[in-house]
Structure 1
């Protein structure tokens, strides 16, 4: 008797699938960074930069829940590849049809392109999270979520440097064409991976299925708790992670090399953390609690650091803890959700990320002008450690 798809040559299929997603992520990261940098240099306006960030996250926030419902009704492979293809097509059309793409007159068109790309991410992201357990056996999920985290961190580490080189020797149009090429390569790799279609047919509307997914996630502790941890982690990582450059600039001087260094060691730590999870191949309450506790401790230690080399060393460990926690939370969600509901649960996770990050930035960013960022980092670190203690005492074991 033939084995199910998930049990036949799954390691090779998982490797090809994760590689395909990293290839497309690389191109997407290039374009996102290039457009924001372009808006910053061209306009020097915080309003335009904020508008691009809003267009990069708000559409994803609005459509992710429905994207998750689609992932439970339609073939997940079709959604992943289709979203990539539509994003690439929109990007290619922008390259061909916008005459002076680097001029001020093209800014509204670039905003629209950012919004379309965000909609694609809202459809694709839940399908990717739901598809991994369709390919990887349950006992190997921690390892492959860790490997995926390491690969994504490596891509995020390389993308800024690559974007800088391409913009130095080319222009915005050339960066966008690279994204089209990486999308084509990623879709080609994805086409080699068989992914089972969701079983069963539903006559309910996408809206009612999305609402059902929210009710389901909130009613099951093994799903609601890791989703809550994910939301908290997204918010708590803003001072030490997303505002790391601002902290270094305020406390140690604003040299370009110091800003680059803190970003590099942060992503390096995340890559090492993903490899650590992949090596240990463990997840669950204890790992998440330990990762969250270390994350909080490093945030408090960075707030107290008085030298840049020490801060960079702590930032590397901070990245390790963040990656370990994220990968383990992802595994908990994958294991806790029923296969038929997995797409909607990951749609909700994508909604949480796309909502918590900009809202947190809007709150914590201006607050750092009124309260020292050291104090905010110390407070969020202490809160992280407190949540880790609660999770260790009362969280589910798997």
Structure 2
């Protein structure tokens, strides 16, 4: 573990929040466009297979490309990477707009293939933007503010997940498709202003590299460094194995929830919308709790408690009697309530333990591992539901998930992470106190050296 750690200042934190606000505006535009494209494929082709293919084009590309994006984020200027990626994503949006201007002149299936190609392009570029954005957080956010920031991120993501589809649905009925897509380009330019004002601090290691002009290793060797760091840090592999297993075993409900509501419970699109909204409300409530409480001790224990509560919510949704939508309503709000706790603890642990110069590659490796089995879960969910039924599938998979995370928790070194995190946080707090004392001492010395003139009566 690197001993050279830059200690973020209050100015760095404010600067990051300005940048993040701009990124949220851009994400809102992307959310509107994503909903619009998904809905267009749904009503134009009326084939769930095409939606599944679009999902794989998005998620599958990122699973394979993010490790490369992480290495690049640690090798090159992260601000330039974010700018380049955002610009290329905006170009992809313009491709959508041009495509739909000439929609009537293109064969229906050819149009779908072009849409999927653009989805792949945007997903590939996002694989470089996300690690670069994640890597700057520990450089600009003080350790005691990480939990609060991650809570803010969950609340803002939840708001975007509600507002984006709602705005997209309203505009879809009122505007031409190419006009709706133009919104994403506008939000891109809005996000450029705080991006240009962003000043990312450099670690001592970065400065030494610039002075010495040392040659960098290969992409493969730097990727291996990230893997080596994870395997050498006690408990980290176990921690993110838990995240991987719970993501995998929860996939059936997430993938099949629309048809579970419609075909099994006889619900409508309003019921599904209410289920999603209640989940977001649960996220808002717990996200606010995370923000109000600055720091959290025993993060791995909090994570495990939240996961068991999440499993309980999953079971409530799974075993709701046929036609009784209240079970899905309650289950959704319970599961939504746990997400800010689980993700905040995971992110804060990673952001605290991983050295700043390795944040890009390590965060991309962890994200890839957590998402790696999601496509498999999606593919298997449909055939298994047809073979054994919805309830047996949902209950069986979540029980397997519960057993898996319990075994890992009991027999791994995951519990050794908490003392490590608390030690790093305490050291940074002590260093910041010393820095503040030095600043105060300098001010006092200046005042003694140049005293203010006395004011005559």
Is the TM value for this pair above 0.5?
yes
Matches within 5 A, 1:8-47: 8-47=10-49
Change (3 A) 1:368 1:51: same
Q: Which moved more, 1:58-67 or 1:371-380?
A: 371-380
Quote how far apart the aligned CAs of 1:327 are: 1.8
Q: Deviations over 1:60-117 (max 9, x none)?
A: 1221001000111112222222211111022224423664237524222211111110
TM-superposed CA distance for 1:137, in Å, is 0.7
Query: For the Cα contact (< 8 Å) 1:226–1:333, is it kept in 2?
Result: no
Alpha-carbon shift at residue 191 of structure 1 (Å): 2.3
1:206 to 190, 195, 219: 219
Contact 1:244/1:263 (8 A) holds in 2: no
By how many angstroms is 1:11 displaced?
4.1
Conserved? CA contact 2:242–2:405, under 8 Å: no
Pick the aligned partner of 1:174 from 171, 179, 204: 179
Q: In structure 1, the residue corresponding to 2:388 is in which secondary structure?
A: coil
Does residue 360 of structure 1 match 2:377? yes
Separation in 1, partners of 2:249, 2:340 = 14
Partner of 1:328: 345
Which one of the candidate residues 280, 286, 296 is aligned to 1:282?
296
Task: Decide which moves more: 384-393 or 324-333.
Answer: 384-393
- Rounded to whole Å, the distance in 2 between the matches of 1:111 and 1:335 is 38
State the SS of the aligned residue for 2:373.
helix
Equivalences for 1:290-369 in 2 at 5 Å?
290-306=305-321, 307-369=324-386
Determine the C-alpha separation between the residues in 1 that align with 2:337 and 2:405.
16
CA drift of 1:7 comes to 0.5
Aligned partners of 1:300 and 1:381 also within 8 Å: yes
Q: TM-score, normalised by structure 2?
A: 0.80
How far residue 202 of structure 1 moved from its aligned partner, in angstroms, is 4.8
TM-score computed with the length of structure 1 as normaliser: 0.91
**2:217 alignment partner, SS class:** coil
- Answer whether contact 2:70 2:360 (CA < 8 A) is retained: yes
Structure 1 window deviating more from structure 2 (375-384 vs 281-290): it is: 375-384
Match of 2:125 among 107, 117, 120: 120
| Cα separation, partners in 2 of 1:327 and 1:263, compared to 1, 3 Å | same
Contact 1:286 1:392 in 2 (8 A): no
**CA–CA distance in structure 2, aligned partners of residues 244 and 266 of structure 1:** 13
What is the rounded CA distance, in whole Å, between the counterparts of 1:225 and 1:202 in structure 2?
34
Q: What runs of 5+ residues in structure 2 fail to find an aligned partner?
A: 1-5, 422-457
Q: Would you say the 8 A contact 1:101–1:172 is kept in 2?
A: no
Q: CA deviation at 1:38?
A: 1.1
Give the match for residue 259 of structure 2: 246
Count the aligned residue pairs.
395
1:269 corresponds to which of 264, 282, 290: 282
Among 155, 160, 165, the residue aligned to 2:160: 155
Contact 1:72–1:340 (CA<8 Å) still a contact in 2?
yes
CA RMSD in angstroms comes to 2.4
Shift in alpha-carbon separation, 1:152–1:341, aligned structure 2, 3 A: same
1:230 to 228, 234, 243: 243
Moved more, 150-159 or 356-365: 356-365
Where 2:200 maps in the other structure, the secondary structure is coil
Matches within 5 A, 1:182-193: 182-193=187-198
Residue 134 of structure 1 deviates from its aligned partner by 1.4
Classify 1:353/1:386 alpha carbon distance in 2 versus 1 (closer, same or farther; 3 Å).
closer
Question: Equivalent of 1:165, from 141, 150, 170?
Answer: 170
Q: List gaps (5 residues or longer) in structure 1.
A: none
User: Where does residue 426 of structure 2 map in the other structure?
Assistant: none
Contact preservation (8 Å) 2:316, 2:330: no
Q: Answer whether contact 1:368 1:376 (CA < 8 A) is retained.
A: yes
Which residue of structure 1 lines up, in the alignment, with residue 141 of structure 2?
Answer: 136
Displacement of 1:379: 2.9
Would you say 1:218 and 2:231 are equivalent positions? yes
Q: CA deviation at 1:161?
A: 0.9
User: 1:258-302 deviations in whole A, cap 9, x for unaligned?
Assistant: 111111112222233322222234262111111111111211222
The 10-residue stretch of structure 1 (194-203 or 17-26) with the greater mean CA deviation from structure 2:
194-203
Instruction: Give how far 1:314 is off.
Output: 2.4
How far apart are 1:165 and its partner, in Å? 1.1
